[in-house]
A = this chain, B = another copy of it.
Amino acid sequence: MSTIVGLQTHDVRFPTSQSLDGSDAMNPDPDYSAAYVRVVTDAGDGLDGHGFVFTIGRGNDVQVKAIEALADHVVGLEVEPLLADMGEPWRLLTQDSQLRWLGPEKGVMHMAAGAVLTALWDLKAKRAGMPLWQLLATMSPQELVAAVDFRYLRDVLTEDDALELLRAAEPGRAERMATLLRTGYPAYTTTPGWLGYDDAKLERLSKEAVSEGFTQIKLKVGSDLQEDRRRMGIARAAVGPDIRIAIDANQRWEVQEAIDWVGELAEFDLAWVEEPTSPDDVLGHAAIAKGIAPTPVATGEHMMNRVLAKQYLQAGAVQVLQIDATRVAGVNENLAMLLLAAKFGVRVCPHAGGVGLCEAVQHLSMFDYVALSGTTQDRCIEYVDHLHEHFATPVVIEDGHYVAPTAPGAGTEMLPESIAAYEVRNDS
């Protein structure tokens, strides 16, 4: 038996605003950051659990503080029983009634729980000697269901429904695992499309994306319609008619404005329209989805919890669910969202980029392919070529696909030298 003896945090910030990487209509100058946590045990096996919340700069110290507020909930606990039933740490970290008041189940406090939960999943995977996707894909349906909180979901998804979905995917797991290891998981790239890039850079990066094997790119839009039309024209000319182009408005529009704006861009053949309006507006997205059909609506990177995801699916407000590794309460809640998507037959194309989001979220899509939806049809994981060098097991992209990681863990471990180089010390 071993014990959790520490929960170490770091406020890590990369000065990305200097290069306008990551610039969009809502976020003109992000400094990609991580509120980082390491769960330390006394096992003496050299294995820690690593997790983080991705933020874009200011406020990363608040996020770190929220993670620290959870230390008392895990430090001192025995590791083995905690990792044997991953529903238990979920309850400990999200169901403290006093901390829950600060959400409930949303925002800073909820994401903090997610960082610690993901660190525990990382530890569990490392102890199992497996990458997280493989650990999840070899857990029994019962173990997986035990890790999911079905509260507030049961009107559309019960424990029995989830078991049925997982059991239905058991045939073929081994073959799909072999396929995944051979071919990887489809990716698309946002690298060409940041708003802050000039035309030449947009054109060059669009062409590079195609030559690197990507079959979909994404452009940021929403600041100026004529500019968007011009940039879409450049991108479409650069990639040709066979490459999909998605657009991302980063919440810039009102409901009718979204419908009108997208109508003006429809001639460019849009793969999807992402975050057209407030991420909280289920009914607004439902109206937009109706108004721009058959162009699909995509959203999820700010979808705060499984209850919101449930409603998006119920209302037909999302056609492409973009789960995010650190927006919700970790692997547990993303399992809930994958199950909901599977129940509704909606495809999942995760949000990634930022700091370590690609490293983390790929495991969830790969699990989904092997052990839940059973397909990669029309699915792809976002890829942005930023900051991967800071991670112990950086993603590998080959021919427009994420290569399935084989290193043990959840992909969330940052290099100690990167932490040391980019850690901000707050003495406030």
List residues of A whose CB falls within 8 A of some B CB: 26-31, 55-59, 61-63, 65-66, 68-69, 96-111, 151-152, 154-155, 251, 254-256, 277-284, 287, 302, 304-305, 307-308, 310-311, 314-315, 428
Contacts and interface: CB of A to CB of B under 8 A. Distances in A.
A282 B284 contact: no
21 contacts: A27-B97, A27-B98, A56-B98, A58-B96, A61-B69, A62-B62, A62-B108, A62-B109, A102-B107, A104-B302, A106-B106, A107-B108, A107-B109, A152-B281, A155-B256, A280-B307, A281-B310, A282-B311, A283-B311, A283-B314, A283-B315
Contacts of A302: 104
B282 A251 contact: no
Q: How many copies of this chain sit in the oligomeric assembly?
A: 2
A10 to B, nearest CB: 15
A304 B106 contact: yes
Contact of A305 (B102, B110, B280, B305): B280
Contacts of A101: 27, 30, 55-56, 59
A59 B102 contact: yes
Contacts of A255: 154-155
Given A109-B107, A155-B284, A283-B314, A97 B56 contact: yes
A28 B97 contact: yes
A2 B255 CA distance: 41
A106 B278 CA distance: 12
Given A62-B102, A152-B280, 5 more contacts: A59-B99, A62-B109, A106-B304, A108-B109, A155-B254
A62 B97 CA distance: 15
Contacts of A314: 283
Q: Shortest 10 CB-CB distances between A and B: which pairs?
A: A107-B107, A108-B108, A58-B98, A57-B98, A155-B255, A152-B278, A280-B307, A65-B65, A59-B99, A56-B101
Contact of A254 (B111, B154, B281, B428): B154
Contacts of A304: 106-107, 280
Contacts of A105: 278, 280
Contacts of A69: 58-59, 61-62
Contact of A104 (B100, B279, B311): B279
A278 B307 contact: yes
A304 B155 CA distance: 22
